[in-house]
């Protein structure tokens, strides 16, 4: 299903926001090692004003992830549910890119789409679209101070899909099983024909090489 634009989506953009919505933890470094890896975003909150229908796909507003630290770092996108609300599933989301690398001061635009399953529960949902630094450490690298995640809060509402959508999903499922069954039946018939033909050919060869007395017998 091709994603469609979730119309007139409103975003509260907080320009220059360095660590927005989420700071999961920080690892303190010695004073002698002041190098730091940071993560930030230009968007504090993404609110989808129109309800999203279960069984449909949507493009969500893009946002930027920045590296405000003084060390280059890799980043991976993730989803963090917020307690007290329905849980969005990471498998519903597609981030582009899902992993990337930033030098200090650089930013990357993240495009997000969501594909809601037909059985998604109706209700209000909140979660954080978070970028996590992924910095490999070795015995030769000095300790670094890390902000473990930052990103905008996503707020949306899911409503049941229309009866037509539900019927379409069910029909597609039935047609898929019918197609699989028909394909298996064709394969079985072809195999049976090949086996019968092989046996008949073998029998004809045996009869052709048999002696006259054996044939009369």
List pLDDT tens digits, range 108-138. Answer: 999 999 999 998 989 999 999 999 988 665 5
Residue 91 banded pLDDT, cuts 50, 70, 90: very high
In this structure, CATH architecture of domain 4-160: Sandwich (2.60)
| Domain map (residue ranges) of the chain | 4-160, 165-212
pLDDT of residue 22 exceeding 50, the answer is: no
Separation between Cα atoms, residue 151 and residue 209, nearest integer Å = 82
Three-class SS state of 119: coil
Instruction: Determine contact, residues 133/101, Cβ cutoff 8 Å.
Output: no
Separation between Cα atoms, residue 38 and residue 148, nearest integer Å = 8
């Amino acid at each position: 299903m091709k994603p469609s634009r979730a119309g007139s989506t409103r975003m509260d953009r907080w320009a220059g926001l360095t660590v927005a919505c989420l700071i999961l933890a920080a690892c303190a470094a010695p004073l002698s090692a002041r190098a730091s890896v940071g993560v930030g975003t230009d968007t504090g909150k993404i609110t989808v004003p129109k309800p999203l229908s279960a069984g449909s796909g949507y493009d969500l507003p893009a946002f930027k992830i920045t590296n405000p630290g003084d060390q280059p770092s890799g980043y991976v996108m993730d989803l963090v549910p917020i307690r007290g609300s329905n849980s969005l599933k990471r498998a519903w989301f597609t981030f582009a890119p899902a992993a990337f690398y930033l030098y200090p001061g650089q930013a990357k635009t993240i495009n997000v789409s969501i594909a809601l399953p037909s059985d998604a529960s109706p209700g209000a949902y909140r979660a954080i679209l978070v970028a996590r630094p992924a910095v490999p450490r070795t015995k030769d690298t000095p300790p670094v101070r890390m902000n473990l995640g930052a990103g905008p809060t996503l707020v949306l509402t899911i409503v049941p899909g229309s009866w037509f959508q539900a019927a379409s999903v069910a029909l597609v499922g039935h047609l898929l099983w019918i197609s699989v069954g028909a394909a298996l039946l064709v394969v079985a018939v072809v195999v049976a024909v090949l086996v019968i033909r092989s046996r008949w050919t073998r029998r004809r060869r045996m009869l052709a090489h048999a002696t006259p007395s054996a044939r009369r017998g």
